[in-house]
Structure 1
């Protein structure tokens, strides 16, 4: 009846895909891939049919119902379908929904986890999501629900001392800032990272009170993640350490 493998492509850098994911691509007959997937990864499946099913700037190549039907029809006609998704398919990736649909229609299903942008993107910028003395936990929240509203969990997270990572939240940045200001956290560090781990990555770091101005000046937009918490200040420490190390190397270099 066919076989579906839902595969996490990682956050953008092609070297962050797993070996197991590469093996799945090499064995694929059809690859259905999303907008946030680095197209270079398709080179691991030269023998397969490649179908773009992603969304860009609110425009859908396929609706979710159509993607579900495409998975089933291609699996029946071609055998092995790889559903390639950015980041990790089980972190706001709808991977579970597609697997349930495929299994209900008789397909054998499997899943290959991916490196999630929620932790990898901050890490690339020297921002840990937890740090002794600064953060004992972290929340990963969708910024926009299926009703196109800000998740109620953001208001709860704003009351905690946890690091908060918000995906798909750029259109709700003003609302997020307002919630944190109400909690008296205007001076809390916050970072916005666009195109994380990719060659065109951009970042803006500020406080809750000033981040909107920084976003405007740096022209930051989707796809981006928002990181809120004291751990964001760690990035400045890492930059200073790197500069000190570079200065020492230059001093040791022969004239």
Structure 2
């Protein structure tokens, strides 16, 4: 009898943010494929699972995507309950589309268990609404690092009148800031939140023009979320200092 694969969003790191559905799926797991960005303590919620670490980090040595997919297929076809744990939200920049298609083509049942995205956790840390109706028309979640290593059209994104929540952008923070300032004024509110929701969290609230320099001076790096837009100016006073 075939098993199944659950693609599970582990959220930004705080295990208290896991859904009840995620906790139940972890408890039932026989094989746990663990992403580097997930809180490693999540394994305590899967006491009967064999844990296989399949880290994927930009700029670091990573487990090949094809290898991860073949592992999921092999164990599921052997009748195992496989849980693929991804940091943040499964359906946002987590290669879930590739994995779903691959597993379905192999006849493997796939379940999705959503998690809180690090972009939402970053906004919560700053105390802002990403869709504050006095400041924006909506929100755009965008990655600064496409598969072909190209960058988005920052000027076009800036012209949308939305809050921009930028993933995987720290290595390109200078070029993305310059690109956005082709449309937005340099005083546009901007922020960086590193390791959102965890005890390692660090926050920076600044302006678009000072963003790259301030982030470098503060020593901020990946994993972090960059937020740009007028709504970011509503950050709570407690969010303004950079956390130690």
Q: TM-score, normalised by structure 2?
A: 0.93
1:207-247 Cα offsets, whole Å, 9 max, x none, are 1111122111210000001000111111145669xxxxxxx
Q: State the Cα distance separating 1:106 from its structure 2 match.
A: 1.6
Deviation at 1:9, TM superposition (A): 0.7
SS for the counterpart of 2:112 is: strand
Greater per-residue helix proportion: 1
Which residue number in structure 1 is paired with residue 121 of structure 2? Answer: 120
> Cα deviation per residue 1:81-108 (whole Å; 9 max; x = unaligned)?
0011111110111112212211111211
Unaligned runs of 5+ in 1: 241-255
- In our comparison, the structure showing a higher alpha carbon Rg is 1
TM-superposed CA distance for 1:61, in Å, is 4.1
Q: Report the more deviating stretch, 59-68 or 44-53.
A: 59-68
Alignment partner, residue 179 of structure 2: 179
1:78: Cα distance to partner? 5.2
Contact (CA 8 Å) 1:27, 1:80: kept in 2 or not? yes
How far does residue 28 in structure 1 lie from its aligned partner after superposition? 0.6
Instruction: Report the equivalent of 1:188.
Output: 188
- The number of residues matched between the two structures is 239
Tell me what 2:21 maps to.
20
Contact 2:126–2:239 under 8 Å retained in 1: no
1:118 match: secondary structure: helix
* Match in the other structure for 2:92: 91
Give SS of 1:222's match. coil
Aligned residue number for residue 207 of structure 2: 207
Distance 2:157 2:193 in 1: 20
Match of 1:163 in 2: 163
Q: Please give the TM-score of this superposition, normalised by the length of structure 1.
A: 0.89
1:230 matched to 2:226 = no
Match of 2:75 in 1: 74
CA-atom RMSD in angstroms: 1.6
How far, CA to CA, are the matches of 1:206 and 1:120 in structure 2? Answer: 18
Structure 2 Cα separation of the partners of residues 224 and 155 of structure 1: 22
SS across alignment from 2:206 = strand
Tell me if the contact between 2:163 and 2:229 (Cα under 8 Å) persists in the aligned partners: yes
Partner Cα distance (1:58, 1:86) in 2:
17
Q: Could you say which residue in structure 1 is the equivalent of 2:220?
A: 220
